[in-house]
């Protein structure tokens, strides 16, 4: 059976035969459950863990028990990226099991200093929002909302820092660590080349496109990285891989990642051209562009929509079709 013919259920069954099990874990967020993955091998390994909540811990314990294991049995926990719905339970699992924690080495400091890094991220987000025309009261309100979410995360002590390209040896398989920044600066995928299985975290999802959020770089420098440009570069690398099944951090397994990534590229192109048309009508701030596209959603999800807009204007600026006009207070985009 070709992978294009596999249903999501059949893909999960095929993975189970290889000792890989999807463990859905509850979250309080609109994205819904996260997918943690159990790899039954030596070491017994969990990829991601869910948010820091009693319900998520209950889910994790129940899911492990379904496969004949307990949280105390875990020997290695791999982290795909820094977002709190994926890391919140890691240290609790370590307390129960004594498991090693593996993550891309460049993210170790960010994960270890979760609380202070979360505050710095919020402050940085406010500065970006203000510079791109979001009213101060909206920016402050969104900072308060973001701060209220911090409790769902937790600091993570990375005991096994991994390099891009480094392999992790198991009794019956090898996983390759591949850094794929964009959705977050720490995005990491784990590649089982022998079986054609890719664990993608939030780098590639079946049901939604991953938003390349404007985020502080892992080195902590307050410079703005072109996150969408970075993400598209990462997607091109993933598209070239001979993956048979991609297991994302949310949603169903992906059995044709090439077609899905092509669809993501096409969507990016369409949105870029829509934003360009709006800019040719008159110069606009990032917030004004977001309002023109999403209306009231641009207020309630201001930082998400702003990240989306700025990602596409970065491409237009790189193409020489748009420039930033900075009056010292607010940045506006105008056609060249």
Q: How confident is the model at residue 4 (pLDDT cuts 50, 70, 90)?
A: low
| Amino acid 222: pLDDT | 84
Closest listed residue to residue 246, CA positions, set 210, 193, 205, 212: 205
Of the listed ranges 38-47, 185-194, 202-211, 295-304, the one predicted with least confidence: 295-304
Q: How confident is the model at residue 299 (pLDDT cuts 50, 70, 90)?
A: confident
| Amino acid 1: pLDDT | 39
Answer yes or no: is pLDDT of 324 > 60.
yes
**Domain map (residue ranges) of the chain:** 3-119+148-264
pTM of the model: 0.96
Which CATH superfamily, name and number, covers 3-119+148-264?
Ribonuclease Z/Hydroxyacylglutathione hydrolase-like (3.60.15.10)
Task: Tell me the per-residue pLDDT of 12-43, one tens digit each, with 9 for 90 and over.
Answer: 999 999 999 999 999 999 899 999 999 999 99
Task: Tell me the per-residue pLDDT of 118-151, one tens digit each, with 9 for 90 and over.
Answer: 999 999 999 999 999 999 999 999 999 999 999 9
Beta strands 284-285 and 245-248, pairing class: unpaired
Of the listed ranges 22-26, 170-174, 220-224, 328-332, the one predicted with least confidence: 220-224
Answer yes or no: is pLDDT of 164 > 50.
yes
Of the listed ranges 220-224, 235-239, 328-332, the one predicted with least confidence: 220-224
Span 247-273, mean pLDDT?
Answer: 98
Span 51-60, mean pLDDT?
Answer: 98
């Amino acid at each position: 059976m070709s992978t294009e013919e596999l249903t999501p259920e059949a893909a999960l069954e095929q993975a189970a035969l290889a000792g890989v099990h999807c463990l859905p874990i509850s979250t309080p967020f609109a994205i819904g459950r996260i997918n943690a993955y159990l790899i039954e091998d030596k070491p017994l390994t969990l990829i991601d863990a869910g948010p820091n909540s009693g319900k998520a811990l209950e889910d994790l314990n129940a899911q492990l028990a379904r496969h004949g294991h307990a949280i105390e049995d875990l020997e290695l926990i791999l982290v795909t990226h820094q977002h709190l719905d994926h890391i919140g339970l890691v240290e609790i699992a370590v307390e129960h099991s004594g498991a090693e924690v593996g993550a891309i080495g460049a993210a170790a400091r960010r994960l270890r200093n979760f609380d202070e890094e979360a505050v710095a991220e919020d402050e940085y987000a406010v500065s970006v929002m203000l510079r791109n025309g979001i009213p101060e009261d909206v920016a402050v309100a969104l900072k308060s909302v973001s701060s209220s979410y911090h409790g769902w995360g937790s600091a993570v002590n990375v005991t096994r820092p991994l390099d891009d390209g480094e392999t992790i040896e198991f009794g019956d398989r090898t996983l390759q660590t591949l850094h794929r920044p964009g959705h977050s600066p720490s995005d990491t995928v784990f590649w089982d080349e022998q079986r054609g299985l890719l664990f993608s975290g939030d780098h590639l999802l079946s049901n939604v496109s991953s938003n390349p959020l404007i985020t502080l770089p892992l080195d902590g420098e307050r410079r703005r990285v072109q996150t969408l440009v970075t993400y598209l570069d990462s997607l091109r690398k993933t598209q070239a891989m001979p993956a048979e099944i991609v297991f994302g951090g949310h949603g169903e397994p992906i059995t044709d990642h090439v077609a899905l990534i092509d669809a993501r590229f096409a969507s990016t192109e369409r949105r870029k051209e829509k934003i360009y048309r709006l800019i040719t009508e008159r110069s606009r701030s990032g917030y004004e562009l977001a309002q023109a596209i999403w209306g009231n959603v641009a207020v309630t999800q201001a930082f998400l929509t702003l990240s989306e807009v700025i990602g596409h204007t970065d491409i237009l600026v790189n193409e020489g079709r748009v420039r930033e006009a900075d009056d010292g207070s607010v940045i506006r985009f105008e056609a060249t």
